[in-house]
Amino acid sequence: MEKSSIPAGILRIKIREALNMAPGYGKSEAMLLQIVNQLTGGGIGLQELRDAREWNHEQGYIRSEEDSDTDEILWYITASGIAKQKL
């Protein structure tokens, strides 16, 4: 799949923006992809999303949790991610 025209840096911000909405609730990958596409106007592929998400994860701006009932990974923004969104 072709990459979108959204720069990686912007996409990383959009991931945090998405997770910072209703931050008490986890978002699945599908939900995250849907929100990020709404925020960017569309065209973001799954691999692009995963790359940007992984970067945020490595920086400690987001965290994941496995839903033991559904085996689904849910994503949350961390306190440091919320602080980063204010800058």
Partner 1 sequence: MSTIDPRADAKLQNLPEEALQDLWRFRHPEEGGEKLTLEAICVEIPRLYGVSVSLSTLHGFYRWLEVKRRLDQREELVNQLKRDLAKDPEVSEAQIRTAGQRLFMAEGILEKDSKVFFDMVKIGQAETKLRQNDAKLGLQKQVVKMDERRLALIEAKAKRLDEAEAAIRKISTNTELTPEAQRAAVLDKMDEFFGLKKK
The minimum distance between CB 87 and partner 1, in angstroms, equals 5
Round to whole Å and give the CA distance between 59 and 53.
10
For partner 1, the binding residue among 4, 29, 31, 45 (CB under 8 A) is 31
Instruction: Examine residue 59 and tell whether it contacts partner 1 (CB under 8 A).
Output: no
**Interface with partner 1 includes 69 (CB under 8 A)?**
yes
* CA–CA distance, 4 with 44 (Å, rounded to integer): 6
| E strands in the chain | 62-67, 72-77
State the residues that interact with partner 1 by CB under 8 A: 17-18, 21-22, 24-28, 31, 35, 38-41, 67, 69, 74, 85-87
